[in-house]
Structure 1
Amino acid sequence: MASTSCEHVPDPIEALGRRLAAEQYFADEGLLTAAHLSLTLGRPLLLEGEPGVGKTEIAKVLARVHDRELIRLQCYEGLDAAQALYEWDHPKQLLAIRTCEAENRPVGELYDESFLMERPLLRALRVPCVLLIDEIDRADSEFEAFLLEFLSDFQITIPELGTIAAAERPIVIMTSNRTRELHDALKRRCLYHWIAFPDSSREKRIIESRVPGLPEDAAKTLVAAVAGVRDLDLIKPPGIAESIEWGQAAKVLLHEGADWPSALKRSLGLLVKEQEDTETVLAHAEGLGL
Protein backbone atom coordinates (compact mmCIF):
# COMPACT_ATOMS: atom_id res chain seq x y z
CA MET A 1 0.00 0.00 0.00
CA ALA A 2 1.38 3.36 -0.94
CA SER A 3 2.05 5.61 2.02
CA THR A 4 0.91 9.18 2.06
CA SER A 5 2.70 12.09 3.64
CA CYS A 6 1.69 15.64 4.30
CA GLU A 7 4.42 18.04 3.32
CA HIS A 8 4.79 21.14 5.44
CA VAL A 9 3.85 24.20 3.44
CA PRO A 10 5.62 27.34 4.70
CA ASP A 11 3.25 30.07 5.85
CA PRO A 12 3.87 32.97 3.43
CA ILE A 13 2.60 35.51 5.96
CA GLU A 14 5.03 34.29 8.61
CA ALA A 15 7.80 34.30 6.00
CA LEU A 16 7.00 37.91 5.11
CA GLY A 17 7.04 38.81 8.79
CA ARG A 18 10.53 37.33 9.17
CA ARG A 19 11.79 39.23 6.14
CA LEU A 20 10.41 42.50 7.48
CA ALA A 21 11.77 41.79 10.96
CA ALA A 22 15.22 41.26 9.46
CA GLU A 23 14.92 44.90 8.35
CA GLN A 24 13.82 45.94 11.87
CA TYR A 25 10.17 46.36 10.91
CA PHE A 26 7.91 44.43 13.26
CA ALA A 27 4.41 44.21 11.81
CA ASP A 28 1.42 42.57 13.46
CA GLU A 29 -0.58 39.80 11.82
CA GLY A 30 -3.18 42.18 10.41
CA LEU A 31 -0.67 44.32 8.56
CA LEU A 32 1.30 41.29 7.38
CA THR A 33 -1.87 39.73 5.99
CA ALA A 34 -2.84 42.96 4.21
CA ALA A 35 0.66 43.32 2.74
CA HIS A 36 0.72 39.68 1.63
CA LEU A 37 -2.66 39.94 -0.10
CA SER A 38 -1.66 43.21 -1.76
CA LEU A 39 1.50 41.60 -3.13
CA THR A 40 -0.29 38.41 -4.20
CA LEU A 41 -3.33 40.05 -5.80
CA GLY A 42 -1.46 43.02 -7.28
CA ARG A 43 -3.75 45.50 -5.54
CA PRO A 44 -2.58 48.87 -4.19
CA LEU A 45 -2.37 48.88 -0.39
CA LEU A 46 -3.97 51.91 1.27
CA LEU A 47 -2.68 52.47 4.80
CA GLU A 48 -4.24 54.86 7.27
CA GLY A 49 -3.34 55.53 10.87
CA GLU A 50 -1.94 58.12 13.23
CA PRO A 51 1.29 59.85 12.14
CA GLY A 52 4.37 57.89 13.11
CA VAL A 53 2.95 54.35 13.15
CA GLY A 54 5.08 53.10 10.24
CA LYS A 55 2.92 53.68 7.15
CA THR A 56 5.71 55.20 5.07
CA GLU A 57 8.39 52.97 6.54
CA ILE A 58 6.80 49.72 5.34
CA ALA A 59 7.11 50.89 1.72
CA LYS A 60 10.83 51.49 2.24
CA VAL A 61 11.24 48.07 3.83
CA LEU A 62 9.28 46.28 1.10
CA ALA A 63 11.53 47.91 -1.49
CA ARG A 64 14.57 46.50 0.28
CA VAL A 65 13.25 42.96 0.80
CA HIS A 66 12.04 42.75 -2.82
CA ASP A 67 15.20 44.41 -4.15
CA ARG A 68 13.22 47.09 -5.97
CA GLU A 69 13.70 50.78 -6.43
CA LEU A 70 11.63 52.92 -4.06
CA ILE A 71 9.83 55.71 -5.92
CA ARG A 72 8.12 58.24 -3.69
CA LEU A 73 5.41 60.65 -4.78
CA GLN A 74 4.92 63.10 -1.92
CA CYS A 75 1.45 64.57 -2.21
CA TYR A 76 0.57 68.16 -1.40
CA GLU A 77 -2.15 70.68 -2.12
CA GLY A 78 -1.95 71.80 -5.75
CA LEU A 79 -0.14 68.70 -7.04
CA ASP A 80 -1.22 68.06 -10.63
CA ALA A 81 -0.77 65.30 -13.18
CA ALA A 82 2.13 66.99 -14.98
CA GLN A 83 4.14 67.24 -11.77
CA ALA A 84 3.47 63.59 -10.99
CA LEU A 85 3.88 62.12 -14.49
CA TYR A 86 6.37 63.96 -16.72
CA GLU A 87 7.35 67.35 -18.05
CA TRP A 88 9.17 68.50 -21.15
CA ASP A 89 12.44 70.29 -20.46
CA HIS A 90 11.62 73.55 -22.25
CA PRO A 91 14.89 75.37 -21.37
CA LYS A 92 16.85 72.43 -22.79
CA GLN A 93 14.69 72.42 -25.93
CA LEU A 94 15.25 76.15 -26.40
CA LEU A 95 18.99 75.72 -25.96
CA ALA A 96 18.98 72.96 -28.59
CA ILE A 97 17.16 75.26 -31.04
CA ARG A 98 19.63 78.09 -30.51
CA THR A 99 22.59 75.75 -30.86
CA CYS A 100 21.26 74.42 -34.16
CA GLU A 101 20.63 77.96 -35.44
CA ALA A 102 24.14 79.06 -34.44
CA GLU A 103 25.65 76.05 -36.21
CA ASN A 104 23.39 76.50 -39.23
CA ARG A 105 21.98 72.97 -39.10
CA PRO A 106 18.43 71.64 -38.97
CA VAL A 107 16.64 71.49 -35.66
CA GLY A 108 16.05 67.86 -34.80
CA GLU A 109 13.15 66.26 -32.99
CA LEU A 110 12.42 68.29 -29.88
CA TYR A 111 10.02 65.81 -28.37
CA ASP A 112 12.11 62.74 -27.79
CA GLU A 113 13.40 61.02 -24.68
CA SER A 114 16.39 63.31 -24.31
CA PHE A 115 14.08 66.22 -23.46
CA LEU A 116 11.66 64.27 -21.27
CA MET A 117 11.85 64.78 -17.51
CA GLU A 118 10.55 61.74 -15.65
CA ARG A 119 8.37 62.33 -12.63
CA PRO A 120 7.53 59.57 -10.13
CA LEU A 121 4.55 57.97 -11.91
CA LEU A 122 6.31 57.71 -15.28
CA ARG A 123 9.40 56.33 -13.59
CA ALA A 124 7.24 53.72 -11.84
CA LEU A 125 6.11 52.38 -15.23
CA ARG A 126 9.66 51.87 -16.42
CA VAL A 127 11.45 50.04 -13.62
CA PRO A 128 10.52 47.32 -11.12
CA CYS A 129 9.67 49.38 -8.06
CA VAL A 130 7.69 50.03 -4.95
CA LEU A 131 5.64 53.15 -5.65
CA LEU A 132 4.92 55.09 -2.47
CA ILE A 133 2.10 57.61 -2.90
CA ASP A 134 2.57 59.37 0.42
CA GLU A 135 -0.14 61.38 2.19
CA ILE A 136 -2.66 61.15 -0.62
CA ASP A 137 -5.15 62.98 1.61
CA ARG A 138 -3.09 66.17 1.19
CA ALA A 139 -3.63 66.23 -2.58
CA ASP A 140 -6.71 67.75 -4.20
CA SER A 141 -9.75 65.72 -5.18
CA GLU A 142 -8.89 66.33 -8.86
CA PHE A 143 -5.54 64.60 -8.49
CA GLU A 144 -7.16 61.75 -6.59
CA ALA A 145 -9.54 61.30 -9.54
CA PHE A 146 -6.61 61.25 -11.96
CA LEU A 147 -5.02 58.43 -9.93
CA LEU A 148 -8.08 56.24 -10.51
CA GLU A 149 -7.19 55.73 -14.18
CA PHE A 150 -3.49 55.33 -13.50
CA LEU A 151 -4.05 52.66 -10.83
CA SER A 152 -6.50 50.80 -13.08
CA ASP A 153 -4.36 50.59 -16.22
CA PHE A 154 -0.80 51.38 -15.12
CA GLN A 155 -0.17 53.16 -18.37
CA ILE A 156 -0.04 56.75 -19.60
CA THR A 157 -0.21 58.37 -22.99
CA ILE A 158 2.32 61.02 -23.96
CA PRO A 159 0.94 62.65 -27.12
CA GLU A 160 4.38 63.11 -28.68
CA LEU A 161 5.61 59.59 -27.85
CA GLY A 162 2.56 57.36 -27.57
CA THR A 163 1.35 55.05 -24.82
CA ILE A 164 3.75 53.80 -22.17
CA ALA A 165 2.60 50.78 -20.17
CA ALA A 166 4.20 49.34 -17.08
CA ALA A 167 7.05 46.97 -17.89
CA GLU A 168 6.26 45.28 -14.57
CA ARG A 169 3.33 46.16 -12.34
CA PRO A 170 4.64 48.25 -9.45
CA ILE A 171 3.98 47.43 -5.82
CA VAL A 172 1.84 50.39 -4.75
CA ILE A 173 1.61 51.66 -1.18
CA MET A 174 -0.62 54.67 -0.47
CA THR A 175 -0.71 56.41 2.89
CA SER A 176 -3.20 58.78 4.45
CA ASN A 177 -3.36 60.62 7.76
CA ARG A 178 -7.10 61.25 7.27
CA THR A 179 -6.87 65.03 7.05
CA ARG A 180 -9.82 64.55 4.68
CA GLU A 181 -11.94 61.64 3.55
CA LEU A 182 -10.82 59.84 0.41
CA HIS A 183 -13.31 59.06 -2.36
CA ASP A 184 -14.97 55.65 -2.31
CA ALA A 185 -13.86 55.06 -5.90
CA LEU A 186 -10.21 55.20 -4.86
CA LYS A 187 -10.77 52.98 -1.84
CA ARG A 188 -12.49 50.37 -4.02
CA ARG A 189 -9.32 49.99 -6.06
CA CYS A 190 -7.23 49.33 -2.98
CA LEU A 191 -6.79 46.85 -0.20
CA TYR A 192 -7.33 48.90 2.98
CA HIS A 193 -5.66 48.57 6.38
CA TRP A 194 -5.62 50.76 9.47
CA ILE A 195 -2.30 50.69 11.35
CA ALA A 196 -2.88 51.11 15.06
CA PHE A 197 -0.29 51.89 17.70
CA PRO A 198 1.61 48.70 18.60
CA ASP A 199 0.95 46.78 21.80
CA SER A 200 3.57 47.03 24.53
CA SER A 201 5.44 43.82 23.67
CA ARG A 202 5.81 44.76 19.99
CA GLU A 203 6.80 48.34 20.80
CA LYS A 204 9.42 47.05 23.25
CA ARG A 205 10.82 44.86 20.48
CA ILE A 206 10.94 47.86 18.15
CA ILE A 207 12.65 50.05 20.76
CA GLU A 208 15.26 47.41 21.56
CA SER A 209 16.09 46.95 17.87
CA ARG A 210 16.33 50.69 17.14
CA VAL A 211 18.05 51.68 20.41
CA PRO A 212 20.72 48.97 20.75
CA GLY A 213 22.32 48.59 24.13
CA LEU A 214 19.31 49.94 26.00
CA PRO A 215 18.86 48.00 29.28
CA GLU A 216 15.73 45.84 29.33
CA ASP A 217 14.33 47.55 32.42
CA ALA A 218 14.80 50.94 30.77
CA ALA A 219 13.01 49.71 27.63
CA LYS A 220 10.08 48.47 29.74
CA THR A 221 9.89 51.80 31.57
CA LEU A 222 9.95 53.74 28.31
CA VAL A 223 7.27 51.62 26.65
CA ALA A 224 5.01 51.88 29.70
CA ALA A 225 5.50 55.65 29.77
CA VAL A 226 4.70 55.99 26.07
CA ALA A 227 1.52 53.93 26.49
CA GLY A 228 0.52 56.15 29.39
CA VAL A 229 1.22 59.31 27.40
CA ARG A 230 -0.97 58.06 24.54
CA ASP A 231 -3.83 57.53 26.97
CA LEU A 232 -3.77 61.22 27.88
CA ASP A 233 -5.92 63.80 26.12
CA LEU A 234 -3.24 65.15 23.77
CA ILE A 235 -3.34 67.26 20.63
CA LYS A 236 -0.90 64.88 18.94
CA PRO A 237 -0.22 61.49 20.54
CA PRO A 238 3.35 60.31 19.90
CA GLY A 239 4.00 57.69 17.24
CA ILE A 240 6.58 54.94 17.11
CA ALA A 241 9.09 57.27 15.48
CA GLU A 242 8.85 59.63 18.46
CA SER A 243 9.22 56.84 21.01
CA ILE A 244 12.38 55.64 19.22
CA GLU A 245 13.85 59.13 19.24
CA TRP A 246 12.89 59.55 22.89
CA GLY A 247 14.72 56.35 23.75
CA GLN A 248 17.80 57.36 21.79
CA ALA A 249 18.00 60.76 23.50
CA ALA A 250 17.33 59.37 26.97
CA LYS A 251 20.03 56.74 26.46
CA VAL A 252 22.55 59.52 25.76
CA LEU A 253 21.60 61.25 29.01
CA LEU A 254 21.69 57.93 30.86
CA HIS A 255 25.29 57.39 29.74
CA GLU A 256 26.07 60.93 30.89
CA GLY A 257 25.07 60.07 34.44
CA ALA A 258 21.35 60.83 34.64
CA ASP A 259 19.00 58.25 36.12
CA TRP A 260 16.50 56.79 33.67
CA PRO A 261 13.31 58.61 34.82
CA SER A 262 15.21 61.90 34.80
CA ALA A 263 16.66 61.14 31.36
CA LEU A 264 13.18 60.50 29.98
CA LYS A 265 11.77 63.66 31.53
CA ARG A 266 14.61 65.86 30.30
CA SER A 267 14.30 64.58 26.73
CA LEU A 268 10.50 64.84 26.64
CA GLY A 269 10.68 67.32 23.74
CA LEU A 270 11.43 64.42 21.39
CA LEU A 271 8.23 62.61 22.36
CA VAL A 272 5.64 65.40 22.38
CA LYS A 273 5.84 68.44 20.13
CA GLU A 274 3.09 70.74 21.43
CA GLN A 275 3.42 73.02 24.45
CA GLU A 276 -0.04 72.04 25.70
CA ASP A 277 0.85 68.36 25.37
CA THR A 278 4.10 68.88 27.27
CA GLU A 279 2.24 70.54 30.12
CA THR A 280 -0.29 67.70 30.20
CA VAL A 281 2.44 65.05 30.32
CA LEU A 282 4.37 66.87 33.05
CA ALA A 283 1.18 67.18 35.09
CA HIS A 284 0.94 63.38 35.02
CA ALA A 285 4.69 62.74 35.30
CA GLU A 286 4.54 60.85 38.58
CA GLY A 287 1.91 58.45 37.33
CA LEU A 288 3.94 57.90 34.16
CA GLY A 289 7.09 57.02 36.10
CA LEU A 290 8.94 60.20 35.07
Structure 2
Amino acid sequence: MTTPLPASVDDTLALLTRGSYVADRSLATALFLALKLKRPLFLEGEAGVGKTEIAKVLSATLGRKLLRLQCYEGLDASSAVYEWNYARQMMEIRLAEASGGQDRESLASDLFSERFLVKRPLLQALEPDLAGPPVLLIDELDRTDEPFEAYLLEILSDYQVSIPEFGTIHAPEPPIVILTSNRTREIHDALKRRCFYHWVDYPSAAREREILAVKAPQADARLAAQVVGFVQTLRGLDLYKAPGVAETLDWAQALVELNQLELEPSVINDTLGTLLKYQDDIARIQGSEAARILTQVKTELAATTAR
Protein backbone atom coordinates (compact mmCIF):
# COMPACT_ATOMS: atom_id res chain seq x y z
CA MET A 1 0.00 0.00 0.00
CA THR A 2 1.39 3.38 -1.05
CA THR A 3 1.68 6.13 1.56
CA PRO A 4 1.57 9.82 0.53
CA LEU A 5 4.78 11.80 0.89
CA PRO A 6 5.07 13.69 4.20
CA ALA A 7 3.59 17.19 4.16
CA SER A 8 5.90 18.72 6.77
CA VAL A 9 9.11 18.17 8.72
CA ASP A 10 7.07 16.84 11.64
CA ASP A 11 5.36 14.36 9.29
CA THR A 12 8.79 13.29 8.04
CA LEU A 13 9.97 12.68 11.61
CA ALA A 14 6.83 10.66 12.25
CA LEU A 15 7.40 8.66 9.05
CA LEU A 16 10.96 7.80 10.11
CA THR A 17 9.76 6.90 13.60
CA ARG A 18 7.21 4.47 12.12
CA GLY A 19 10.14 2.84 10.35
CA SER A 20 12.02 2.54 13.69
CA TYR A 21 14.55 5.17 12.63
CA VAL A 22 15.56 7.70 15.30
CA ALA A 23 16.47 10.90 13.45
CA ASP A 24 17.26 14.44 14.53
CA ARG A 25 15.28 17.36 13.13
CA SER A 26 18.02 18.58 10.79
CA LEU A 27 18.11 15.21 8.98
CA ALA A 28 14.30 15.12 8.80
CA THR A 29 14.32 18.66 7.35
CA ALA A 30 16.83 17.73 4.64
CA LEU A 31 14.82 14.63 3.78
CA PHE A 32 11.51 16.52 3.70
CA LEU A 33 12.92 19.15 1.32
CA ALA A 34 14.44 16.51 -0.95
CA LEU A 35 11.09 14.71 -1.17
CA LYS A 36 9.07 17.90 -1.59
CA LEU A 37 11.29 19.44 -4.27
CA LYS A 38 12.10 16.09 -5.95
CA ARG A 39 15.83 16.44 -5.55
CA PRO A 40 18.38 13.69 -4.73
CA LEU A 41 19.58 13.60 -1.11
CA PHE A 42 23.32 13.14 -0.68
CA LEU A 43 24.25 11.71 2.74
CA GLU A 44 27.84 11.70 3.93
CA GLY A 45 29.22 10.37 7.18
CA GLU A 46 31.28 7.64 8.79
CA ALA A 47 30.40 4.02 8.07
CA GLY A 48 27.68 2.59 10.29
CA VAL A 49 25.84 5.80 11.22
CA GLY A 50 22.59 4.92 9.42
CA LYS A 51 22.86 6.49 5.96
CA THR A 52 21.79 3.40 3.99
CA GLU A 53 18.98 2.70 6.45
CA ILE A 54 17.23 5.93 5.38
CA ALA A 55 16.49 4.50 1.93
CA LYS A 56 15.28 1.20 3.39
CA VAL A 57 12.95 2.99 5.80
CA LEU A 58 11.55 5.20 3.03
CA SER A 59 10.87 2.15 0.87
CA ALA A 60 9.08 0.34 3.70
CA THR A 61 7.07 3.26 5.07
CA LEU A 62 6.07 4.76 1.69
CA GLY A 63 5.31 1.39 0.09
CA ARG A 64 7.77 1.99 -2.77
CA LYS A 65 10.11 -0.42 -4.51
CA LEU A 66 13.73 -0.19 -3.34
CA LEU A 67 16.39 -0.30 -6.06
CA ARG A 68 19.91 -0.51 -4.66
CA LEU A 69 23.08 0.16 -6.62
CA GLN A 70 26.07 -0.92 -4.51
CA CYS A 71 29.05 1.02 -5.83
CA TYR A 72 32.56 -0.34 -6.25
CA GLU A 73 35.75 0.52 -8.11
CA GLY A 74 35.33 -0.12 -11.83
CA LEU A 75 31.52 0.10 -11.82
CA ASP A 76 30.32 0.85 -15.34
CA ALA A 77 27.12 1.35 -17.33
CA SER A 78 26.66 -2.35 -18.09
CA SER A 79 26.41 -3.11 -14.36
CA ALA A 80 24.64 0.06 -13.26
CA VAL A 81 22.39 1.12 -16.15
CA TYR A 82 21.87 -1.43 -18.93
CA GLU A 83 23.41 -3.96 -21.24
CA TRP A 84 22.21 -5.97 -24.20
CA ASN A 85 21.48 -9.66 -23.82
CA TYR A 86 24.11 -10.77 -26.34
CA ALA A 87 23.51 -14.51 -25.85
CA ARG A 88 19.83 -14.12 -26.63
CA GLN A 89 20.61 -11.86 -29.60
CA MET A 90 22.97 -14.48 -31.05
CA MET A 91 20.29 -17.12 -30.65
CA GLU A 92 17.80 -14.86 -32.45
CA ILE A 93 20.27 -14.36 -35.32
CA ARG A 94 20.79 -18.11 -35.70
CA LEU A 95 17.05 -18.77 -35.66
CA ALA A 96 16.53 -16.08 -38.29
CA GLU A 97 19.30 -17.54 -40.47
CA ALA A 98 17.84 -21.02 -40.12
CA SER A 99 14.34 -19.91 -41.10
CA GLY A 100 15.55 -17.49 -43.77
CA GLY A 101 12.37 -15.48 -43.37
CA GLN A 102 13.60 -12.14 -42.00
CA ASP A 103 15.62 -9.47 -43.82
CA ARG A 104 18.69 -7.94 -42.24
CA GLU A 105 17.21 -4.50 -41.62
CA SER A 106 14.18 -5.74 -39.68
CA LEU A 107 16.38 -8.25 -37.83
CA ALA A 108 18.79 -5.49 -36.73
CA SER A 109 15.84 -3.39 -35.57
CA ASP A 110 14.40 -6.31 -33.64
CA LEU A 111 17.70 -7.22 -31.98
CA PHE A 112 17.88 -3.82 -30.28
CA SER A 113 14.31 -3.78 -29.04
CA GLU A 114 13.26 -3.71 -25.39
CA ARG A 115 12.96 -7.49 -25.08
CA PHE A 116 16.74 -7.82 -25.48
CA LEU A 117 17.51 -4.96 -23.06
CA VAL A 118 18.79 -6.00 -19.62
CA LYS A 119 17.80 -3.23 -17.24
CA ARG A 120 20.02 -2.46 -14.27
CA PRO A 121 19.02 -0.39 -11.18
CA LEU A 122 19.52 3.09 -12.68
CA LEU A 123 17.39 2.29 -15.72
CA GLN A 124 14.76 0.47 -13.66
CA ALA A 125 14.42 3.60 -11.50
CA LEU A 126 13.22 5.58 -14.53
CA GLU A 127 10.33 3.24 -15.31
CA PRO A 128 6.77 4.06 -14.23
CA ASP A 129 5.40 2.09 -11.28
CA LEU A 130 1.81 1.81 -10.09
CA ALA A 131 3.00 2.20 -6.48
CA GLY A 132 4.76 5.46 -7.34
CA PRO A 133 8.36 6.33 -8.21
CA PRO A 134 10.77 3.88 -6.54
CA VAL A 135 13.44 4.65 -3.97
CA LEU A 136 16.83 4.53 -5.69
CA LEU A 137 19.75 3.97 -3.32
CA ILE A 138 23.19 4.70 -4.78
CA ASP A 139 25.28 3.34 -1.95
CA GLU A 140 28.92 4.24 -1.17
CA LEU A 141 29.39 6.45 -4.23
CA ASP A 142 32.92 7.30 -3.06
CA ARG A 143 34.02 3.76 -4.01
CA THR A 144 33.42 4.39 -7.72
CA ASP A 145 35.67 6.13 -10.23
CA GLU A 146 35.20 9.76 -11.31
CA PRO A 147 34.05 8.79 -14.86
CA PHE A 148 31.05 7.04 -13.36
CA GLU A 149 30.16 10.20 -11.44
CA ALA A 150 30.10 12.05 -14.76
CA TYR A 151 27.74 9.41 -16.17
CA LEU A 152 25.38 10.02 -13.25
CA LEU A 153 25.05 13.70 -14.13
CA GLU A 154 22.61 13.08 -17.02
CA ILE A 155 20.47 10.81 -14.87
CA LEU A 156 20.34 13.15 -11.87
CA SER A 157 19.91 16.28 -14.01
CA ASP A 158 17.12 15.19 -16.36
CA TYR A 159 16.22 11.72 -15.08
CA GLN A 160 16.90 10.20 -18.44
CA VAL A 161 19.26 7.67 -20.02
CA SER A 162 20.43 7.78 -23.64
CA ILE A 163 20.93 4.38 -25.27
CA PRO A 164 22.50 4.79 -28.74
CA GLU A 165 20.81 1.74 -30.34
CA PHE A 166 17.46 2.29 -28.65
CA GLY A 167 16.86 5.97 -27.89
CA THR A 168 16.36 8.10 -24.79
CA ILE A 169 14.37 6.80 -21.84
CA HIS A 170 12.88 9.52 -19.64
CA ALA A 171 11.26 9.03 -16.25
CA PRO A 172 7.62 10.23 -16.19
CA GLU A 173 8.23 11.17 -12.55
CA PRO A 174 11.61 11.41 -10.75
CA PRO A 175 12.50 8.53 -8.42
CA ILE A 176 13.35 9.20 -4.77
CA VAL A 177 17.15 9.22 -4.89
CA ILE A 178 19.39 8.68 -1.86
CA LEU A 179 23.17 8.78 -2.41
CA THR A 180 25.59 7.83 0.35
CA SER A 181 29.32 8.29 0.82
CA ASN A 182 31.75 7.32 3.59
CA ARG A 183 34.03 10.12 2.33
CA THR A 184 36.99 7.95 1.45
CA ARG A 185 37.41 10.50 -1.36
CA GLU A 186 35.71 13.76 -2.30
CA ILE A 187 32.74 13.65 -4.68
CA HIS A 188 32.85 16.14 -7.56
CA ASP A 189 31.07 19.47 -7.06
CA ALA A 190 29.06 19.07 -10.27
CA LEU A 191 27.31 16.04 -8.81
CA LYS A 192 26.87 17.55 -5.35
CA ARG A 193 25.19 20.64 -6.84
CA ARG A 194 22.35 18.46 -8.11
CA CYS A 195 21.63 17.15 -4.62
CA PHE A 196 20.58 18.37 -1.22
CA TYR A 197 23.32 17.54 1.28
CA HIS A 198 23.39 16.33 4.87
CA TRP A 199 26.25 15.13 7.04
CA VAL A 200 25.10 12.20 9.21
CA ASP A 201 27.17 12.44 12.37
CA TYR A 202 27.55 10.04 15.28
CA PRO A 203 24.54 10.49 17.57
CA SER A 204 24.70 12.08 21.00
CA ALA A 205 24.60 9.75 24.00
CA ALA A 206 20.92 10.50 24.60
CA ARG A 207 19.98 9.81 20.98
CA GLU A 208 22.04 6.63 20.90
CA ARG A 209 20.17 5.38 23.97
CA GLU A 210 16.93 6.11 22.10
CA ILE A 211 18.19 4.07 19.15
CA LEU A 212 19.06 1.15 21.45
CA ALA A 213 15.63 1.33 23.06
CA VAL A 214 14.02 1.03 19.61
CA LYS A 215 16.40 -1.44 17.95
CA ALA A 216 17.48 -3.54 20.95
CA PRO A 217 14.62 -3.29 23.47
CA GLN A 218 15.72 -6.55 25.15
CA ALA A 219 18.81 -4.82 26.56
CA ASP A 220 18.46 -3.87 30.22
CA ALA A 221 18.35 -0.08 30.71
CA ARG A 222 21.50 -0.16 32.86
CA LEU A 223 23.35 -2.25 30.28
CA ALA A 224 22.21 0.03 27.45
CA ALA A 225 23.43 3.13 29.31
CA GLN A 226 26.82 1.51 29.98
CA VAL A 227 27.18 0.32 26.38
CA VAL A 228 26.43 3.80 25.04
CA GLY A 229 28.79 5.44 27.53
CA PHE A 230 31.58 3.02 26.63
CA VAL A 231 31.09 3.51 22.87
CA GLN A 232 30.88 7.30 23.19
CA THR A 233 34.20 7.27 25.08
CA LEU A 234 35.82 5.08 22.40
CA ARG A 235 34.81 7.59 19.72
CA GLY A 236 36.84 10.23 21.52
CA LEU A 237 40.02 8.13 21.25
CA ASP A 238 42.40 8.04 18.31
CA LEU A 239 41.30 4.68 16.91
CA TYR A 240 41.82 3.46 13.37
CA LYS A 241 38.04 2.99 13.03
CA ALA A 242 35.67 4.25 15.69
CA PRO A 243 32.54 2.11 16.19
CA GLY A 244 29.38 3.26 14.43
CA VAL A 245 25.79 2.91 15.56
CA ALA A 246 25.59 -0.43 13.74
CA GLU A 247 28.44 -1.75 15.94
CA THR A 248 26.75 -0.39 19.07
CA LEU A 249 23.62 -2.37 18.19
CA ASP A 250 25.64 -5.50 17.40
CA TRP A 251 27.45 -5.28 20.72
CA ALA A 252 24.30 -4.68 22.75
CA GLN A 253 22.55 -7.64 21.08
CA ALA A 254 25.59 -9.86 21.65
CA LEU A 255 25.66 -8.92 25.35
CA VAL A 256 21.93 -9.71 25.65
CA GLU A 257 22.58 -13.16 24.15
CA LEU A 258 25.25 -13.65 26.83
CA ASN A 259 22.64 -12.77 29.51
CA GLN A 260 24.59 -9.71 30.67
CA LEU A 261 22.73 -7.17 32.80
CA GLU A 262 25.75 -4.87 32.99
CA LEU A 263 29.24 -4.50 31.57
CA GLU A 264 32.17 -6.29 33.20
CA PRO A 265 35.86 -6.13 32.21
CA SER A 266 36.02 -9.82 31.29
CA VAL A 267 32.99 -9.75 28.99
CA ILE A 268 34.25 -6.55 27.32
CA ASN A 269 37.55 -8.28 26.50
CA ASP A 270 35.71 -11.32 25.15
CA THR A 271 33.33 -9.35 22.90
CA LEU A 272 35.40 -6.44 21.60
CA GLY A 273 35.44 -8.08 18.16
CA THR A 274 31.76 -7.23 17.73
CA LEU A 275 32.51 -3.57 18.42
CA LEU A 276 35.96 -2.94 16.92
CA LYS A 277 37.00 -4.30 13.53
CA TYR A 278 40.78 -3.80 13.56
CA GLN A 279 43.18 -5.84 15.67
CA ASP A 280 45.34 -2.82 16.55
CA ASP A 281 42.28 -1.10 18.03
CA ILE A 282 41.28 -4.24 19.94
CA ALA A 283 44.80 -4.69 21.32
CA ARG A 284 44.85 -1.07 22.46
CA ILE A 285 41.53 -1.28 24.33
CA GLN A 286 41.69 -4.80 25.79
CA GLY A 287 42.72 -5.25 29.41
CA SER A 288 43.56 -2.27 31.59
CA GLU A 289 42.28 0.37 29.14
CA ALA A 290 38.87 -1.32 28.91
CA ALA A 291 38.71 -1.53 32.71
CA ARG A 292 39.65 2.16 33.03
CA ILE A 293 36.98 3.25 30.54
CA LEU A 294 34.35 1.08 32.23
CA THR A 295 35.18 2.56 35.67
CA GLN A 296 34.93 6.06 34.20
CA VAL A 297 31.58 5.28 32.54
CA LYS A 298 30.07 3.76 35.69
CA THR A 299 31.26 6.72 37.78
CA GLU A 300 29.70 9.21 35.36
CA LEU A 301 26.43 7.30 35.23
CA ALA A 302 26.29 7.07 39.02
CA ALA A 303 26.87 10.83 39.30
CA THR A 304 24.13 11.52 36.76
CA THR A 305 21.67 9.25 38.59
CA ALA A 306 22.48 10.92 41.94
CA ARG A 307 21.59 14.36 40.56
Q: Tell me, yes or no, whether TM beats 0.5.
A: yes
Q: CA deviation at 1:260?
A: 3.5
Give 1:1-290 correspondences, 5 Å limit: 12-106=8-102, 108=107, 109-126=110-127, 127=129, 128-254=133-259, 260-261=263-264, 262-282=266-286, 283-289=288-294
- % of aligned pairs identical? 50
Partner SS for 1:196 = coil
Partner SS for 2:126 = helix
1:29 counterpart letter in structure 2: R
Distance 1:34 1:233 in 2: 31
Assess if the C-alpha contact under 8 Å between 1:74 and 1:135 holds in 2.
Answer: yes
5+ residue gaps, structure 2: 1-5, 296-307
Deviates more, 1:175-184 or 1:102-111: 102-111
Distance 1:281 1:41 in 2: 47
Distance 1:207 1:158 in 2: 47
Partner SS for 1:53 = coil
Assess if the C-alpha contact under 8 Å between 1:250 and 1:264 holds in 2.
Answer: no
Cα deviation code 1:16-61 (max 9, x no counterpart): 1121112111111111111111111111111110100011110111
5+ residue gaps, structure 1: 1-9
Q: CA deviation at 1:167?
A: 2.2
Q: CA deviation at 1:259?
A: 5.7
| Number of equivalenced pairs | 279
Distance 1:259 1:147 in 2: 49
Partner SS for 2:218 = coil
Assess if the C-alpha contact under 8 Å between 2:268 and 2:290 holds in 1.
Answer: no
Structure 1 segments, 4+ long, off by >6 Å, are none
User: So what's the TM-score if we normalise by structure 1?
Assistant: 0.91
Partner SS for 1:193 = strand
Q: CA deviation at 1:170?
A: 0.6
2:299 equivalent in structure 1: none
Q: CA deviation at 1:242?
A: 0.6
